[in-house]
Amino acid sequence: MTPPILEARGLSKSFAGMVALDNLSFSVNEGEIAGLIGPNGSGKSTVVNLISGVLVPTSGQVVMRGQDVTGAPAHQMARRGVARTFQMIRLFGTLSVEDNIALALQQKEGPGYVSSFFRTPAARRQRAAAGVTAREMLKLFDLEEKASDLAADLSIGQRRMVELARGLASEPTVFILDEPAAGLAPHNVDRLIEMIRRMRDEFGVTILLVEHVMRVVQSVCDRVVVLDYGQKIADGPPAEVVNQPEVIEAYIGLGRGKNA
């Protein structure tokens, strides 16, 4: 069997003495939609930031395809194929929607700043190709008519779709979605579920879905890892996991699980 695409091995992180994550291990296999769930404050966002290189773990390892990438900065993780979205949507507000995506997918082709400055034919071709790919992506997400709008001018639902298009366009090895349903209206959540499935089924993208809206997790995930107080309390298919007493306790026991 091939090694998992992404592995967390004994990851721990503390902030000023507060333990946010305690010895967490889990893995994500190629072509899988893995869920990472848990109540607010259970350490989900910390996991995302550790894997995407925003934070450095206090101890433990992040391993991609058997290679230790612990502590690599965010831009290097991106070049290794980790794409992500943000709980609070992040786009370049003063750039057009198309440029937002084109910029992301230009990063893998190496610097090219000098040839871009001199407007060499190769640089122009590359830029034009990025634009074409960006528009194809937007078409997939039904946003092609918004391509030249400023990213700041779109609605929340549209902005979320642009984030997905940006990540997908960069042909990620693993695509981390950080609470993508946050702030979305119900019909947009349906659309989100559909697009997450299509990204995997049609493009073969491996997805790590961090979420606390159970409806999303249960309908798309092959497997879920459950966190509580920085520790893993369950790991398995969604239907089984939700019936485990620890999970019920974590979500319902303290009345914290209004979304469960």
Partner 1 sequence: MVSDLVLLPQFLTNGLVIGSGYVLVAVGLTLIFGILHIVNFAHGEFYMLGGFAAVLGSQLLGLPALPTLLVVAVVMAAFGLVVERVVFRPLGGKDPTNAIIASFGLSVLLQNLMLKTVGAEPMAVKSGFAPGAIQIGNVFITAERIAIVAAMAVIVAALLLVLRYTWTGRALRSLSENPTVALISGVNVRRVSLITFVIGSVLAGLSGALMSTVFMVQPNSGALIVMKAFIIVVVAGMGSIEGAIIVGLALGLIESLVAGYMGNELRDIVGFLIVILVLAVRPQGLFGLKTERS
Partner 2 sequence: MRTPLILLLTTAIACALPAVLESGYFINVAIIALIYVILASSLDIMMGWTGKFSFAHAAFFGIGAYTAAMMQRSFGTDLWAHLPAGMAAAALFGVLLGLPSLRLQGHFLAIMSIAFQTVVYLVLAQWTDLTGGHYGLPVEVSPELGNVSTFYFVTLGCTLVACLFVWFLTQSRFGDTLTAIRDDETLARTIGMDTNVIKIVAFAISSALAGGAGVLMAHHIRGVTPNDYTVMTSATIVAMVVLGGRGKFWGPIVGALILTILPEVLSDLAEYKHIMYGALLIFMIMVMPQGVVGALTGRKAK
Contacts of partner 1 in 1-20 (CB under 8 A):
15-16, 20
In whole angstroms, the minimum distance from the beta carbon of 126 to partner 2 comes to 9
Rounded Cα–Cα distance for residues 150 and 140 (Å) = 19
Nearer to partner 1, 18 or 239 (CB): 18
Residue 249 CB, shortest distance to partner 2, in Å, is 35
Does residue 73 bind partner 1 (CB under 8 A)?
no
- Rule CB under 8 A: choose which of 42, 46, 100, 133 binds partner 1: 46
Choose from partner 2, partner 1, none: what does 49 bind? Cβ within 5-8 Å by kind: partner 1
Exposure string for 29-45, b = 16+ CB within 10 A, e = fewer: beebbbbbbbbeebbbb
The item of partner 2, partner 1, none sharing an interface with residue 90, based on CB under 5 to 8 Å by kind, is partner 2
Q: Does 55 bind partner 1 (CB under 8 A)?
A: yes
User: What are residue 94's phi and psi, to 5 degrees?
Assistant: -95, 5
Q: How far is the CB of 247 from partner 1 (least distance, A)?
A: 23
Whole-Å CA distances, 25 to 60, 80, 153, 233, 260 = 9, 21, 40, 11, 24
Minimum gap (Å) between residue 49 Cβ and partner 1: 5
Residues that bind partner 1 (CB under 8 A): 15-16, 20, 45-46, 49, 54-55
